[in-house]
Structure formats: structure tokens, C-alpha cells
């Protein structure tokens, strides 16, 4: 029995009886079939029903003009290969509407028979399981063949689709390549992944260029209105330029949200869209303000030049100075803060700075690493327990971390590791500000500030169903992303001097020391730097080893010789040892390998060749095990 017949029988049984042998399909398709069944999608649909045309289609294209424009040149480059292979390529927006399609004439004619045309909405709810709709649903690339599709309209088709994201992780749309089943080829998924990645880079470049233009235009406007209460904001309502009058009154205004700024005793008089000169696109807004008349019942916090406490080295890098600015802004408030960053970037140090620069600085600071705590102990550790709550309970019970932190701050590190049951309990604490110890009945009111931290992508965990969305929004009121040490290498001399002085380490502070430290990519960040300096102190203390010898032994040179470039066989082995990489990541890895080969192992040149930041290149080297 052929695979097609096998799949067809599987499909028939599921449609007629609701019974599915999931071993015959991959998980993504199985999940999609169940979604379609639940939404009562017609499995016998022979063509799509919802098609935009005329003005409605023009409006949809206008909404996605930037995506269309960014994709045009990449579509043109792939067109000859698509035509020759008997395929078609489609650009689809985030709502599932086909914005453009091109390809082999016969294939386009066949597609027209099922309304697979420009303007059609090709989502799971409309036409069942399909590469476009399922990629939109799962936010992952996927290839679907023949009777793996839920509705018969697509049973004769093979499709591969890959989502397109912007720099903020927002899905802009999907790139799809489709063809009749008899022309299907595994390379289709690799093709769409490569094109999606290229379009994402194009969009990121254009957005950066537009942000720069917006900033320059905003500064001009601020100067033009220097004697008025005027600010210019970006699309996130963050102030990017302010008039001289505003800057004199509130020096910290740049970087504040408008809503935070108003707490200084201002109100909005008028606001107008801020359009770019080059294309009139709305990128932000201009806001004219007035000083708020205070009544006896109205109190606005005034930002005073109080000293800022930080238990570490501030350095000079722009990236970390921007982080410090965010800390200074949010510290005086009681807002929940979520700190993200790689391991070793100093998340607890930032949490302590938030506490020590707040009104709670005289209260307790309680820290707990959720990742190191066994699941069965987490509830009692956080919420405490009363006497006799369980076998082995302390005689007088135990105050949990939340109760210990009353009148102060609780810092929950590695919040992404807490299990689902604890997520529900934590959400209740956040909502009601009370805690009930295990075995107890009385609610204990809480007056605490909650700061969380993680090295994981919480938004991605939410999308995968591993982290509650409502809890995510409660915790992520004010996010602070910490830069890696690779992104603030100009701070390395300051950090070295700080650690050596603090620990009384006699390490020669010279260019001979600093230059190799700057060249290392520091996967363990500041923690790795501290450990390295301590190791140097120990090895240099007996006088037997010279600094040059020591540095050579500490670091492996970060270059790949041309002879080290992997062969095809080695690449296959790498696929075998890293099967968890998605197709997009495998393509990124291959591009990096090619770039390293062309630049003879020079990481800086390879990053420049691929037109990506060197810090991003280093992150991927570590991620892909290169």
C-alpha cells in the first residue's frame, strides 16, 4: 500500500469516525486536524470561499505595503527557479490573505480552480490544515503533502511555508511555495526558510533606517518647539526627543513613556501623528503638553537627584548605560519588572539595584532561584506552611519567601522554570496580594514588589503553551533586557579594574592583558570574566608563569582555519547531532559556515559578510555549537 493511500485511509477514518492513528502523521499535522475538527471546518470543501477583490484587496495590500515592498526583490530572484520547477510562490499576510503570487503558468491555472488566488484567505479555519494556515497558527515552518491536508481542495497539492517575523518577534506574514503533489521536492521547505530569513533581514535594515530618520526628524521638531512643552514619541509611546524646556524641567524625559512622564505634573493638550518626510508613514506622534494645575487631592511624584546605588561597575558602554537609565526610571515605582538576559549578565545585581533605589530599600530583599528548587518543595518554599501541615514540618511552621519579603522586594530568578500548577498559584498571589500557607486557612496580606528574571524567551514559552499568558502579562509590566558582555566590550577594562581592586588581585593592568580579553566572546558573560580573573590571580601568584603564557592557556583562539571547514559528510553528522534545530536555524548555520570559509575563519569579517552584528554572530556560534 502506498503512502498516499495510507494517508487517505487515515484521513477518511478521522473525518468519518473521529479516530486517528497519530503514528502515521507528525505532531503538527495531528494537532491541526484536531483543531479543524473542533472548529467544524468542512473536510469536503473543494475550493476556498473567502476572497477579497477590488477595493478590499487594495486596502489589505496597503496595510502590508512594507512587507510587500521588502519581499519584491527576493521574489524576483527566486522566480526563474520556481517557474522551471513547476511551482508557485505566495506572500501571505498575518491575517492569512494572499497578497501576491507568481510562478509556473500551468500551476497557477490549477490553483485558480480551488480559488488559490490573490486575495484569498488561506487559514486553517477557512480551508483546514495547510502549510500557510498551520504556519500562521504554530508560528513555525512546515511542509504538508497531499492528503495530509484536512480539506479535499488541497489533497492534490504539496505546500511549504515559513513565517516572517520582525525584530520584536511580531509575525508579519508567511512565505509559501506550492505545487502539484507529483512535483513536490524536500528542498521546498529550505527554500522558503531561506527567503523568509532574507526578507526578515531586509525588514530589519529598513526599520533601523526609518528609526534613524524618525530620530533626526524628532530632534528637529524638538528644536523648533524649544520654548514649548513638546515631546516626540515612537510607535511604542516612548519619548525619543524633547524640547529644551522639557529637558530642563525633567532631565530624565528621554526614554520615558509618555504615561510615566505625565506623572511629573503634566497633561496632554494636543497630539498629532508623526509622519516620516520621505513617505508620510506614521512612525510615532508629536505631543504638546501643559503643566498640570495641582489641587489638594492631586499629588505627582517629582524626580529628585537622589544618589543611585549599584553594587557593581557601571562602565561606559551605550548598551549598559541605556539599561541603567531604565533601572533609574522604574526603581522608584512599585511596578513588576521582568529582567531578561544570558546567564552571567548580572540579573540579580540589577534586581538589587531596583530594590535599593526604591522606597522599599529599608525592607527585606528576598531572592529565590526557581530553577534550582525541586518542584515538590516550591510551594512550601514560596508560600510557607503551618505547624503539622505534613510529616516533617517544623514545629512552629515556616514563613514562605513571599511572607518573608513583606514590606520589601521578592526576586524570583529563572521564573520560566516554574511548573504549571505553581503558575496558577503565583497568578493568584499577584492578583489578590494575599498568601495562604500550606495547611492553613487564614489569608496573609502582602505588601511586596515582585521582580522576576529569566534567560529564556517567555513570549516563546507562552506561544508553546508552557507559560501562562495571563501570568506573563502580569510579570512583564516593565521589561529590562541586559546586554551580554559581547555587546559591551568597552566596559571590560573598567570591570577588570573593579574586580581586581575589590578582591585585591595583583594582576598587571596593561594592553597586553586587556586586548585578548576584548577578543574573547565570553559565553559566560561577566561571571566568566570574574572566574577568569580569579584563575589568573591564582596562577600568577607564585611567579612561575608569564602573562603571555597564561593568556595563551586561558583562551582558545576564535578562528576556524580553512582546512577545518566541514565536508558534506561532516555536515550530515552535524545534522545528526543537532536534530532539534529548525530548518531556518540549519540554513543560518550553513550560511555562517560558508562565511567563515570565505573569510578564512575571521569571525568579524564573516559577520560583516552576512551583514549581521558581530554579537549576533557570536550568539549563533554558541547556539549552533560551532
pLDDT tens-place string over residues 329-370: 999 988 899 999 998 999 999 999 999 999 898 899 999 888
Average pLDDT along the chain: 83
Cβ atoms 149, 157 nearer than 8 A: yes
Task: Point out the domain boundary residue: 481, 509, 534.
Answer: 481
Residue 41 in this model has a pLDDT that exceeds 70: yes
Cβ atoms 271, 285 nearer than 8 A: yes
Sign of the CA dihedral with 589 first, then 595, 600, and 601 last: negative
Q: Do 41 and 188 fall within a single domain? A: yes
What integer pLDDT is reported at residue 306 of this predicted model? 57
Number of Cβ atoms within 10 Å of the Cβ of 553: 11
Q: Do 121 and 58 fall within a single domain? A: yes
Range 285-312 average pLDDT:
65
Most confident of 94-103, 310-319, 556-565: 94-103
Hunting for cell 528576598 — which residue is that? 366
What integer pLDDT is reported at residue 166 of this predicted model? 85
CATH of the domain at 233: 3.30.450.20
| pLDDT band at residue 571 using 50, 70 and 90 as cut-offs | very low
Query: Cα(411)–Cα(480) distance, rounded to whole angstroms?
Result: 14
CATH of the domain at 468: 3.40.50.300
Most confident of 14-18, 312-316, 328-332, 558-562: 328-332
pLDDT tens-place string over residues 98-124: 999 999 999 999 999 999 999 999 999
- The boundaries of the domain holding residue 398 are 324-481
Query: Cα(219)–Cα(243) distance, rounded to whole angstroms?
Result: 8
Query: Cα(485)–Cα(549) distance, rounded to whole angstroms?
Result: 24
Query: Cα(575)–Cα(593) distance, rounded to whole angstroms?
Result: 13
**Is 524 strand, coil or helix?**
coil
Cell of 616: 549576533
Q: Do 196 and 136 fall within a single domain? A: yes
Percent of the chain with pLDDT over 90: 27
Cβ atoms 506, 540 nearer than 8 A: yes
Query: Cα(149)–Cα(41) distance, rounded to whole angstroms?
Result: 12
Say which residues have a Cβ less than 8 Å from residue 536's Cβ, sequence separation at least 6: 505, 507, 550, 554
What is the count of structural domains for the chain?
5
Query: Cα(287)–Cα(589) distance, rounded to whole angstroms?
Result: 45
Query: Cα(250)–Cα(320) distance, rounded to whole angstroms?
Result: 22
Q: Is residue 617 part of a domain?
A: yes
Say which residues have a Cβ less than 8 Å from residue 84's Cβ, sequence separation at least 6: none
Q: Where are the beta strands (DSSP E) in 259-402?
A: 266-275, 282-291, 337-340, 365-369, 384-385, 398-399
CATH of the domain at 157: 3.30.450.40
CATH of the domain at 537: 1.10.8
Cell of 75: 521574489
Range 531-546 average pLDDT:
75
Amino acid at each position: 500500500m502506498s503512502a498516499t493511500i495510507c494517508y487517505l485511509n487515515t484521513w477518511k477514518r478521522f473525518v468519518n469516525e473521529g479516530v486517528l492513528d497519530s503514528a502515521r502523521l507528525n505532531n503538527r499535522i495531528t494537532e491541526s486536524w484536531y483543531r479543524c475538527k473542533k472548529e467544524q471546518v468542512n473536510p469536503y470543501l473543494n475550493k476556498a470561499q473567502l476572497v477579497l477583490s477590488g477595493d478590499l484587496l487594495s486596502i489589505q495590500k496597503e496595510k502590508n505595503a512594507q512587507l510587500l515592498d521588502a519581499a519584491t526583490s527576493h521574489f524576483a530572484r527566486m522566480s526563474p527557479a520556481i517557474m522551471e520547477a513547476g511551482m508557485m510562490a505566495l506572500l501571505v499576510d498575518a491575517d492569512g490573505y494572499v497578497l501576491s503570487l507568481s510562478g509556473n503558468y500551468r500551476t497557477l491555472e490549477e490553483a485558480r480552480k480551488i480559488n488559490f488566488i490573490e486575495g484569498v484567505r488561506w487559514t486553517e479555519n477557512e480551508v483546514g490544515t495547510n502549510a500557510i494556515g498551520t504556519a500562521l497558527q504554530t508560528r513555525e515552518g512546515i511542509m504538508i503533502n497531499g492528503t495530509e491536508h484536512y480539506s479535499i481542495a488541497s489533497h492534490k497539492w504539496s505546500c511549504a511555508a515559513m513565517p516572517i517575523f520582525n525584530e520584536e518577534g511580531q509575525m508579519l506574514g508567511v512565505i509559501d511555495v506550492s505545487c502539484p503533489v507529483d512535483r513536490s521536492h524536500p528542498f521546498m521547505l529550505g527554500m522558503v526558510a531561506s527567503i523568509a530569513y532574507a526578507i526578515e533581514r531586509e525588514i530589519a535594515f529598513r526599520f533601523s533606517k526609518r528609526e534613524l530618520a524618525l530620530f533626526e526628524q524628532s530632534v528637529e521638531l524638538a528644536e523648533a518647539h524649544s520654548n514649548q512643552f513638546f515631546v516626540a514619541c515612537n510607535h511604542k509611546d516612548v519619548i525619543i526627543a524633547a524640547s529644551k524646556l522639557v529637558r530642563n524641567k525633567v532631565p530624565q524625559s528621554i526614554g520615558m513613556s509618555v504615561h510615566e512622564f505625565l506623572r511629573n505634573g503634566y497633561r496632554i493638550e494636543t497630539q498629532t501623528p508623526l509622519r516620516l518626510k520621505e513617505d508620510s508613514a506614521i512612525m510615532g506622534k508629536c505631543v504638546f503638553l501643559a503643566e498640570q494645575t495641582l489641587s489638594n487631592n492631586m499629588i505627582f511624584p517629582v524626580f529628585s537627584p537622589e544618589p543611585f546605588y549599584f553594587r557593581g561597575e557601571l562602565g561606559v558602554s551605550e548598551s549598559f548605560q541605556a539599561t541603567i537609565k531604565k533601572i533609574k526610571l522604574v526603581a522608584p515605582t512599585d511596578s513588576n519588572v521582568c529582567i531578561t538576559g544570558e546567564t552571567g549578565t548580572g540579573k540579580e545585581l540589577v534586581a538589587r539595584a531596583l530594590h535599593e533605589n526604591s522606597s522599599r530599600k529599608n525592607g527585606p530583599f528576598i531572592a529565590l532561584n526557581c530553577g534550582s528548587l525541586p518542584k515538590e518543595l516550591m510551594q512550601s518554599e514560596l508560600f510557607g506552611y503551618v505547624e503539622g501541615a505534613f510529616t516533617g514540618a517544623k514545629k512552629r511552621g515556616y514563613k514562605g519567601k513571599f511572607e518573608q519579603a513583606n514590606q520589601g522586594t521578592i526576586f524570583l530568578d529563572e521564573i520560566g522554570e516554574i511548573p504549571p500548577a505553581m503558575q496558577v498559584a503565583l497568578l493568584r498571589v499577584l492578583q489578590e496580594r494575599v498568601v495562604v500557607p500550606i495547611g492553613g486557612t487564614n489569608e496573609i496580606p502582602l505588601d511586596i514588589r515582585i521582580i522576576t528574571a529569566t534567560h529564556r524567551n517567555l513570549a516563546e514559552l507562552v506561544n508553546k503553551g508552557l507559560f501562562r499568558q495571563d501570568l506573563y502579562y502580569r510579570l512583564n509590566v516593565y521589561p529590562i533586557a541586559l546586554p551580554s558582555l559581547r555587546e559591551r566590550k568597552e566596559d571590560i577594562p573598567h570591570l577588570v579594574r573593579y574586580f581586581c581592586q575589590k578582591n585585591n588581585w595583583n594582576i598587571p593592568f596593561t594592553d597586553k592583558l586587556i586586548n585578548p580579553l576584548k577578543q574573547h566572546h565570553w559565553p559566560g558573560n561577566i561571571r566568566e570574566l570574574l572566574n577568569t580573573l580569579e584563575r589568573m590571580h591564582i596562577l600568577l601568584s607564585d611567579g612561575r608563569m608569564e602573562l603571555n603564557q597564561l593568556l595563551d592557556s586561558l583562551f582558545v583562539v576564535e578562528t576556524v582555519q580553512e582546512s577545518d571547514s566541514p565536508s558534506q559528510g561532516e555536515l550530515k553528522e552535524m545534522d545528526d547531532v543537532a536534530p532539534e534545530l529548525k530548518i531556518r536555524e540549519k540554513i543560518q548555520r550553513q550560511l555562517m559556515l560558508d562565511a567563515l570559509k570565505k573569510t578564512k575563519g575571521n569571525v568579524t569579517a564573516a559577520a560583516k559578510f552576512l551583514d549581521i552584528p558581530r554579537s549576533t554572530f557570536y550568539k549563533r556560534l554558541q547556539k549552533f555549537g560551532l
